[in-house]
Chains A and B, each alone.
Chain A
């Protein structure tokens, strides 16, 4: 992870700006979203990605149009990093017709197949076989598209984790599996769920190239992903990446997360991925305070506009729903 803060080896400024803008957008979406939840404007479940922004941010920046992602129940960050329209995301959370899923899906099911977003998922671990399936369809099609599934430490103890990674391996699929190891399966610490807490080692056991990366370092995630994507497109997939991170709060908005030790939380908050992206942009990209302030303002305005858009959007139609239901 040696980095050159300046000079010709420094990462391009545009990349550093993109990483910061994305990470900050996720931070704003989740922080402001929680406020809307507390006001009763957002109902149902809401699993914030706070503290984990570095992973989606770094990973998606290494992907291209035509690639696929599959996400988790904690999926807002992946959507945003994938380039989703904040307006349609907020509208979905506000149950509006203009939402990504017309209000039929909600927080845990935002998907946009037109852009290759296979969707968030309410079933822990389910995105792994689905992602492998997308990679298989791409291979059958003769495409070099890469599919990335974001999964969780909790999902690694589900049978489909090994079943699908193994299928990807025997078929040499363009598939990258990123375990976002936030060290808790809801409230159960990873050490209580498995004897081997270095989760990336599970890949090596079945012949899959596997890596560990600091999930709170968006640039490190990005750089590793660039290599992983390159290898996949050269027919050397699949690849497993464990990105270690920590949540900033409990499992969902109504979980105070009291089981998370304070010293550990403090440790990770001091290594905040959004701060990291901002500092990298300043230190390596030479961003000025004014540039930072402009981006932050733009992101905040974008969210506020999305809320206005959603509030003014039409409600769903029960008549249309009945028509929809008739095909079942």
Chain B
């Protein structure tokens, strides 16, 4: 095991897979000579050459479409999109092309296309650079949605993404690139659809992904001081979703808190809550809690930015509510 940064883990994954399979290549804005805005692709141009590491013009719809076409034709493209917000320019290619091709060909075609991008709030980059848009991709059958929270998961999941055959929305978080974590030596692969228990506990299940895993862990540490043992589950991939791990944990703790940075309305948390109520209703001792971003574009002002997305205290409060330790907020209304 070594302690490395999230961005280094991503680079290792790309590097190892490019070395392993010469069909893997990467295109994106400023990813070649410059090494990418987050330094994920630093050094790859020198190692693999201009044929497999290419800068693109600012043309998201075109470059996503070109990636999808390359994948259909047997390539293994990675398209890096600077911000998930910019992926919206290429939604036809993601939603109508990549996601549909397998079905439209009756199963004979496949699209091993990986779009790497990043989302979330961080440092006042304002409404068009701060979104958490996983629910958009989550609601389109045919896409895989991956949201790693740690360097080890980032590496293992990206390596797996480059070996499977479906279009992958690989959603990193801008706040995580310089965070550190232990990564196993040698070959490290994390298959899709297998969640990870980031902290074990018996009193309440907290389900979170991407940067919110860390908020949940901070909350769990504080809850522990109050004598509450929270179990923190990171599904790691939203599609496919490790439903069994969630249901098993809820059966143990009888309580569920779902934390997402994305806005509350139409979110993945709502869908997970609906799965829990449908499949574990009689296990529950309290309503499923959702802690989510406000239904509002993220403002620039850093105080307001912070107020827009879940904080540690919001998670703690929700966990305590589910344990009936505080009065329900509803009672005050």
Binding site for B on A (CB under 8 A): 68, 70, 99-105, 109, 111-114, 116, 118-119, 121-123, 126, 128-134, 136-141, 147, 159-160, 163-164, 166-167, 170-171, 324, 328
Contacts and interface: CB of A to CB of B under 8 A. Distances in A.
B56 to A, nearest CB: 7
A109 B56 CA distance: 29
Contacts of A130: 65-66, 68-69, 72, 97
A141 B69 contact: no
Contacts of B65: 126, 128-130, 132-133, 160, 163-164
Given A102-B106, A126-B65, A129-B61, 13 more contacts: A104-B105, A113-B105, A116-B73, A119-B101, A123-B96, A123-B97, A126-B93, A129-B65, A129-B93, A130-B65, A140-B52, A160-B92, A171-B54
Interface in B41-76: 51-52, 54, 56-57, 59, 61-75
8 contacts: A114-B108, A118-B73, A121-B97, A126-B65, A126-B97, A163-B61, A166-B62, A324-B103
Contacts of B67: 133
A180 B56 CA distance: 28
Contacts of B270: none
B227 interface: no
A166 B59 contact: yes
A300 to B, nearest CB: 28
Contacts of B104: 101, 104-105, 109, 111, 119
B123 interface: no
B69 A109 contact: no
A324 B107 contact: yes
A325 to B, nearest CB: 8
B25 interface: yes
Given A126-B97, A140-B52, A105 B106 contact: yes
A189 B256 CA distance: 58
Given A101-B104, A134-B72, A328 B142 contact: yes
Given A118-B73, A123-B96, A140-B51, A167 B106 contact: no
Contacts of A104: 103-107
B70 A133 contact: yes
Contacts of B22: 140
Minimum-distance CB pairs A-B, first 4: A133-B69, A129-B65, A163-B62, A102-B106
Interface of B: 22-23, 25, 51-52, 54, 56-57, 59, 61-75, 77, 92-93, 96-97, 101, 103-109, 141-142
A70 B72 CA distance: 11
A44 B156 CA distance: 44
B268 to A, nearest CB: 16
Contacts of B74: 137, 141
Contacts of A118: 69, 72-73
B93 A100 contact: no
A232 B159 CA distance: 34
Nearest to A166: B57
A163 B61 CA distance: 8
B106 A136 contact: no
B5 to A, nearest CB: 29
A114 B107 CA distance: 12
Contacts of B93: 126, 129, 160
B72 A133 contact: yes
A129 B25 contact: no
Nearest to A68: B73
Most chain A beta-carbon contacts within 10 A, residue among B54, B71, B72, B73: B73
A129 B60 CA distance: 11
Contacts of B97: 121, 123, 126, 130
Contacts of B51: 139-140
Contacts of B107: 102, 104, 324
B56 A111 contact: no
Contact of B61 (A99, A116, A122, A159): A159
A170 B67 CA distance: 16
Nearest to B93: A129
A68 B54 CA distance: 23
B61 A136 contact: no
B45 to A, nearest CB: 14
A328 B99 CA distance: 10
A201 B54 CA distance: 28
Given A164-B62, A166-B62, A167-B56, A136 B105 contact: no
Contacts of A139: 51
B96 A122 contact: yes
Given A119-B104, A126-B93, A133 B109 contact: no
Nearest to B79: A133
Nearest to A136: B70
A164 B25 CA distance: 18
Most chain A beta-carbon contacts within 10 A, residue among B54, B67, B104: B104
B215 to A, nearest CB: 30
Contacts of B141: 328
A113 B74 CA distance: 9
A102 B70 CA distance: 24
A3 B52 CA distance: 45
Contacts of B63: 163, 167
Contacts of B25: 140
A280 B199 CA distance: 77
A39 to B, nearest CB: 25
Nearest to B109: A113
Contact of B62 (A113, A122, A129, A137): A129
A111 B108 CA distance: 9
Contacts of B77: 133, 136-137
